[in-house]
A and B are shown apart, each in its own frame.
Chain A
Amino acid sequence: MRAVWIALALAAAGLVFWMPLYVLYVANLLLMYAVLALGLDILVGLAGQFAFAHMAFFGIGVYTTGLLGNRLGVSFPLPMLAGAALAAIVALLIAIPALRLRQVYLALTTFAFAAAAQWVFHSWDAVTEGSNGLRLAATRVLAWRIVDDRDAYPLLLVVALAMVLLRLSLQSSKLGRSMRALHQSEPLALASGIDARRVKIVAFGISGLFAGIAGGMLPLFNSYVHPDTFGLEGLVAILTMIVVGGLGSTFGVLIGVALIGLLPEVMRDLQVLREVVYGGLLILTVMFLPQGVAGAWRPARA
């Protein structure tokens, strides 16, 4: 049965390839959001830590990938991998001091870091072109140039699928189990020989890695990026996706990305209410549906 569902999903994904560019652009966006959200959820949903820096890591991924492509013309996927590596390293550098004390300090430090990073994106004209925004050259895959959304889609699909598999593998590994243990009871994790601090740091690093990969996906189907993309607003959108979909569940996160990601397309008239809708969804979900949509029809996790 599961095989049929997976096959149908893959078939639907294939069908999108023949749709108008509009559909492809939205699909590409959703694939990127999916990686971004899966990454945030590794930190928030699996390890139970809260941080504000996700969009900053996303930005590091975008700028690294974009600049390597623009200036050196390096072929995909090297710029993306470099961006992801850099994002992960920066994440580790922040997590190590931030996780020394109380749990809230990660939230505080990253709140500050996110704002500082945005300031850097805005102000470091020599590298990011500042608030003029950065034009992104067409991505090169060896000799092939990716010019439009249709070219980019298969690549993005492959990257997103790879990241989903990575995440599933992580979830069923000892590390994933340690993260879940930590989330639910830190004393229990410690008594079970789990190095809580190390697991938190690693979770933060992996979450940054996912954000960096998502950042590497953006230049594939966009020709321009502006630092405002990496503000709090983006974080709230991604957060809404994982909270509504279901924290800690890959399936839930993907559902959340689809639901919240498509919301603006199906209800553009509702956009006046956008902030109220996002905020309200966040509050109502944590109040009434702590496991999100996924938890509502799969109450337990094995």
Chain B
Amino acid sequence: MTALLEITGLEVRFGGVRAIAGLDLAVEAGTIHALIGPNGAGKSTALNCISRFYDPDGGEIRFEGQSLLRRPPHAVAGLGIGRTFQNLELCAQSSALENVLIGMSPKLDGGNPFWPGRRRRAEDRRARETGMALLERVGLAGKADTPAGQLAFGQQKLLDLARALACEPRLLLLDEPAAGLRLREVRALDDLLVQLAASSAVTILLVEHVMALVMSVAQRVTVLNFGQKIAEGTPEEIRRQACVVEAYLGRVTDAVG
């Protein structure tokens, strides 16, 4: 069985620093795969390479067998890869629903921008229904008309997730979804992700610091340090390989509690 996403020999250098040094990574379809490691280990950089925000200096990234590196960043969503952002990126002045509709862009034809014809109106109606359903799923149905900037922080994170889901991705890249959330919110997110993976057959690549979340939802965990893979396995295996990562895991779990 081939992996949904396959990264081989990825290299990224910033100035003289090797942010990612020959990374190989395979994400199997239908799994929740977590990418962990200390600050500056290259987790977010790897994610940014997949979504084509960075041009890597070497290596290859394949999604369903196709090379991503030959595609511009905006084509990635169309291929079925959605992503969220670590530092919230939202259209703060637009309503929650509009944010989701923006995420839906690859799925919409749009019609004639200068004339709201019947087809365009029909598509618009359908898109709004789908968008409302997505908001419902993340528990924001009541906030559809609220400007995103006026939502609480946790709600903004959920909106970001709903927006990323709107392009009906087969692979979802989540960049620290739990960062800044309260414990109760983390638990809700936990349930949501598990439910997502189960119900919509979406594969999730998760970059996360909150170990509780990683350990409870991930089926596979990859540990990065200094841009290199230092361990990989199931959460239990990773926990058992404490000799390799003890210091690091201990520190992080302590910090998060």
Contact = CB atoms under 8 A, between A and B. Distances in A.
A140 interface: no
Interface in A184-222: 184-185, 187-196
B164 interface: yes
Interface string A162-187: 00001001101111111011001101
A4 to B, nearest CB: 23
B115 A169 contact: yes
Contacts of A187: 53, 85, 89
A301 B146 CA distance: 9
Q: How large is the interface on B (under 10, 10 to 19, 20 to 34, 35 or more residues)?
A: 35 or more
B108 A192 contact: no
Given A173-B120, A302-B145, A190 B74 contact: yes
B83 interface: yes
Contacts of A173: 110-114, 116, 120
Contacts of B163: 188, 192
Interface string B75-88: 11110001101000
Nearest to B82: A191
Interface residues of A, number: 27
A300 interface: yes
Given A177-B101, A178-B102, A194 B108 contact: no
Interface string A282-302: 000000000000000000111
Given A300-B95, A302-B95, A192 B110 contact: no
Given A169-B113, A169-B114, A190 B53 contact: yes
A54 B6 CA distance: 47
A189 B73 CA distance: 10
Interface in B58-110: 72-78, 82-83, 85, 89-95, 97-98, 101-106, 108-110
Given A173-B120, A177-B98, 5 more contacts: A174-B108, A175-B110, A177-B101, A178-B105, A192-B166
19 contacts: A170-B113, A172-B124, A174-B108, A174-B110, A174-B111, A180-B91, A181-B102, A184-B94, A185-B89, A187-B85, A188-B102, A191-B51, A191-B73, A192-B163, A193-B76, A193-B77, A193-B106, A300-B150, A301-B93
Going nearest first, the 6 A-B pairs with the smallest beta carbon separation are A193-B77, A174-B110, A193-B106, A173-B113, A184-B91, A175-B113
